[in-house]
Amino acid sequence: MPKSLKVEGTIRYDGQNLVGLAPGLHRRIRGSRIGMVFQEPMAALNPVMKVGKQIEEVFRFHNVPGPYDDRIVALLASMGLPEPELLRHAYPFRLSGGQRQRVMIAMALALDPDLLIADEPTTALDVTTQKQILSLLKAAQDERHMAIMLITHDFGVVADVGDEVAVMQEGRIVERGSVREVLHNPQHDYTRTLLAAVPDLSPRPARAASAAPPLLTATDVTKTYKGRAGLFAPRREVQAVKGVSLKLARGETVGIVGESGSGKSTFARIVVRLLKADSGEVRLEGVPGNLLALDHRQLAPVRRRVQMVFQDPFASLNPRRTVFEIVAQGLLAHGVDRRTARKRVDELLDLVALDPSAAERYPNAFSGGQRQRIGIARALALEPDVIVADEPVSALDVSIQARVLELFASIQARLGIGLLFITHDLRVAAQICDHVAVMRNGAVVEEGESAQVLFDPAHEYTRLLIDSIPGLGKLPTKRAVAPAATDAPER
C-alpha cells in the first residue's frame, strides 16, 4: 500500500483488523486467505514469465512445500484450460483474454482462499467469454465454500451472480440488500437512475420501412491485413472483413453487432475511407461510381457527407484545440467564414445539449459523456447524410450512455440521417437499431429487422450472443424503476 494512502476505520477479517497490520502479515493474508482477480489480466500477470511458473511463485512466496507440477496442472485443468500440460509453458501473450483471466483465477485460488475479491473480472471480455468466466467463478465458489466480493458496473452481472449487493456512489454505499430486493424494489434515487439507464431488451416499435432507394449500399467488401511480424508473433495474415454487404436508408439506423475482432471497426473505417479495402463496392446516393475507387479529388465532396464518431472520447479529440476549433474544423476547411462557423457551432452545441460557453474551452474540461457530445457535434457540422458511429457509447457509464443514445435518436429523428451504429452490446442495439447485422470472424452471419434478429434469431451464433447477455430476463424494466425526475446534471 502506498505510504501516501491513508486508511481509517476498521476492516475485520476473521476477527483481525487488517487496517494498520504490519505489511508482512498483510501480505501473508493476501494471496493465501484472500485471493484477488483484476480487470486486466495482462497487466496483472508477469509478461516474461511462463504461466505455470507464475503459479509456482505463489506457492513459493507462501512457503508451500513442493513438488508443484501436478498441482499446477490440476489447477489449470480445473479452470477449464485446454492442454494444461502444454499451456503451463506458455507466456501470457500467447493466451486469449479469457484464458489469461482463467490463469489469474487459478493463481488467486491456488492457496484455497476463504475470500476472493474480483475487481471487474469480466469487463474486458466479450459476453460469451464473460458468461464462461462467471460460471467458472460460481463453480469454484460452490466447490470451495468461498465468499466472493465481485466489483462490477454491470447490473446484469449482479443479477446473474450476486446474493447481496451494495451500490456505491462517490465513495459511499448508498444502498444495500439482497439482489432481488435492490433490483426490483430500489430505494435510493441513484440506484433507480442506474437501473433505469440499462437499455431494456425489448423490441423497439418497427418504424415504417423506407421506400426510398438506399442511401448507402456496401457490396462484398473485403479486407485482409498483411500483418507485420511482431516482436513475439510470426508474420500472419488476418482476413478481417470477408465479403460484407449491407444497405442503409435515410433516417434509418443499421447496427453492426459482434464480438471483438469480428471486423466491425475495419468495415466502418473502410466505409468512411480511413482504410483501403482489398475489394468490394460502396455506393452513396447521388455519387456516380464506387466510393472505394474515388481518388483524392473526387473524394473531397463525399467526405463531407459521410462522417464518423469514434469510441474513445478521450483519444478522438485534439487536446490542444478549443471545442470551437474542433467542431468548426470541417466548416472552415470547406471555406465557411469564421463568423458563420461561430454561429453554426453555437447551434450544434445546443443540438447536443452543451452550453455555448463550451466553445472556448479545451477537451480536458469535459467528462467522457460531454466529449462524446462534442464528437457528435463535430460529425454533424457539415450536415452529413451518413454517420458511422463505432462503439460510440462503449466507453461511457451506463447513465451517460443512456443520454448519448437518446441524443443519437433525437438527432436522427430531426435530421433524417442514415446511422451505421456499431456496438458489441445487444441491449444497446435493441434500443437504437431498426436493422441489425451480426458479424463473426469478418462475415455477416445474420441480418434483418432488430425485433426479428434479437427476439427470433435464426443463426446459432446470434442465439449464443443473446444467451450470454448478463442478467437476461432478470432486470426490471426502465419504467418499473425510473425515478420521478431523471434530469440530474451529467457528469
Q: Which is nearer to Mg ion, 264 or 373 (CB)?
A: 264
**Residue 391 and residue 375 in contact, taking contact as beta carbons nearer than 8 Å:** no
With CB under 6 A as the contact rule, the residue among 262, 372, 399, 431 that binds ligand ADP is 262
Q: Which is nearer to ligand ADP, 159 or 429 (CB)?
A: 429
258, interface contact from ligand ADP, Mg ion, none, CB < 5-8 Å by kind = ligand ADP
- How many positions of this chain bind Mg ion (CB under 5 A)? 2
453 belongs to the binding site for ligand ADP (CB under 6 A): no
d(CA 135, CA 132) in angstroms, rounded, equals 5
316 belongs to the binding site for Mg ion (CB under 5 A): no
423 belongs to the binding site for Mg ion (CB under 5 A): no
CA dihedral 19, 24, 27, 29 (to 10 degrees): -70
305 belongs to the binding site for ligand ADP (CB under 6 A): no
With CB under 6 A as the contact rule, the residue among 42, 111, 238, 299 that binds ligand ADP is 238
Q: Which is nearer to ligand ADP, 107 or 309 (CB)?
A: 309
Residue type, 298: Q
With CB under 6 A as the contact rule, the residue among 186, 258, 369, 476 that binds ligand ADP is 258
Q: Which is nearer to ligand ADP, 193 or 265 (CB)?
A: 265
CA dihedral 470, 471, 476, 478 (to 10 degrees): 0
State the Cα angle at 377 between 349 and 320, rounded to 5°: 90
Residue 37: beta bridge partners? 118
User: Which residues contact residue 243 at a Cβ distance below 8 angstroms, ignoring those fewer than 6 apart?
Assistant: 220, 221, 222, 280, 443
Shortest reach from residue 200's CB to ligand ADP, in Å: 25
How far is CA 471 from each of CA 191, 195, 399, 475, rounded to the nearest angstrom?
16, 12, 17, 6
Q: Which is nearer to ligand ADP, 124 or 381 (CB)?
A: 124
Return the range that interacts with ligand ADP (CB under 6 A); candidates 39-47, 262-270, 310-318, 407-415. 262-270
How far is CA 431 from each of CA 399, 406, 407, rounded to the nearest angstrom?
14, 10, 13
User: Of 106, 103, 107, 114, nearest to 34 (Cα)?
Assistant: 114
How far is CA 103 from each of CA 48, 52, 64, 373, rounded to the nearest angstrom?
15, 9, 19, 39
CA dihedral 83, 469, 441, 229 (to 10 degrees): -60
Return the range that interacts with Mg ion (CB under 5 A); candidates 9-17, 258-266, 275-283, 324-332. 258-266
Shortest reach from residue 126's CB to Mg ion, in Å: 12
90, interface contact from ligand ADP, Mg ion, none, CB < 5-8 Å by kind = none
With CB under 5 A as the contact rule, the residue among 265, 307, 423, 450 that binds Mg ion is 265
Q: Which is nearer to ligand ADP, 46 or 96 (CB)?
A: 96
- In the complex, the residues that contact ligand ADP under the rule CB under 6 A are 225, 227, 238, 240, 258, 260-266
